[in-house]
Amino acid sequence: MATRVLDLERSRAEINDNNARFCAALGERDMDRLMEFYDPEVCLLIPGAPPIRGRDGVRTYYEQVFAAGVSAAEMRTLQLEHGGDRLVELGEYTMVLEPPGADRIEDVGKYMVVHRRQDGGGWAIWLDMFHSDRSA
């Protein structure tokens, strides 16, 4: 039991660090750094669109996010469940968009990410879904 608690604490620290670096890359619109957080077999589930599979599809999605004027993001882990080489994270996010020629938008919502252990030992985003708390 003590080993499982230590593993979860270690994983929580790693995920919190990954999330902070992920949000920094998003806010800086650094596509190459952002893609490093994703598993090669990633599947992104976003509102109003079919599943986006693979890093190329995720890259295309983030090109649209960058064009929409993303300027800041924050993620807060609410729950983390360890399952061997998988880690399930539930959380809340805040994202700021500053679209060209439009008013600033602050979006808040929730997310669920399944991280998959990589060959090098770190975690990568394998399954990712989020949903805004704003009405459509």
Question: Can you give the pLDDT of all 136 residues of the chain as single tens digits?
Answer: 555 555 888 889 999 999 999 999 999 999 999 999 999 999 999 999 999 999 999 999 999 999 999 999 999 999 999 888 999 999 999 999 999 999 999 999 999 999 999 998 899 999 999 999 987 6
Domains of the chain as residue ranges with CATH: 2-132 (3.10.450.50)
- The stretches of 46-107 forming alpha helices (DSSP H) are 54-67
Question: Dihedral, CA atoms, 13, 18, 24, 30, nearest 10 degrees?
Answer: 170
Residues 6+ apart with CB under 8 A from 3: none
CA gap 65, 75 in Å, rounded: 16
| Residues with Cβ within 8 Å of residue 54, at least 6 apart in sequence | 40, 41, 42
